[in-house]
Amino acid sequence: MSSDYKDKRIRKNSQLSSFRLAVLGILTAIKQERNVKIHLVISILVIILGILNDLSKHEWMFIAFCIGLVISLELINTAIERVVDLVTSEYHPLAKEAKDIAAGAVFVAAILSVVIGGVIFIPKILQAIMS
């Protein structure tokens, strides 16, 4: 099935088509998934806060990594949920576990991102308040 899909959708310029399909997947998730929208809004707010606080290159690297990690894992979580829903519409304990574990991965990355954000932003905010 996978090769049939590729044969029909990706003919010439396959590398460019692969990028196009990846972007289409991201846009689909943004349109259809509430959590992806939430992560994007939070990411935009963090970027604005970073600009206002004049982050260093290293701080920006950590922020960019965290944003990319959380959004990437949310996309993977969404894909896993879709595949599980495709395979079975009935309740199955393994299907639930697969969805819960994928959601847990996003949660771990989000908590890590909050900790890193706190390490970066709390001293800057406290310094601004004290000044």
Task: Please give the torsion angle defined by the CA atoms of residues 93, 96, 97 and 100, in that order, rounded to the nearest 10 degrees.
Answer: -160
To the query of whether residue 59 is one of the catalytic residues in this protein, the response is no
90 annotated binding-site participant: yes
3-state secondary structure at position 131: coil
- DSSP secondary structure code for residue 88 in this structure: -
Token output for 69: 């990690």
Instruction: Please say whether the dihedral angle defined by the alpha carbons of residues 35, 103, 79 and 42, taken in this order, is positive or negative.
Output: positive
81 annotated binding-site participant: yes
59 annotated binding-site participant: no
Indicate which residue of 39, 74, 75, 106 is catalytic.
Answer: 74
Token output for 34: 């509430």
Q: How far is CA 105 from CA 9, 80, 98, 131, in A?
A: 31, 12, 11, 39
Feature table: binding site for substrate: 74
Feature table: binding site for a divalent metal cation: 33, 81
Feature table: binding site for ATP: 33, 81, 90-92, 99-100
Active site residues: 74
Feature table: binding site: 33, 74, 81, 90-92, 99-100
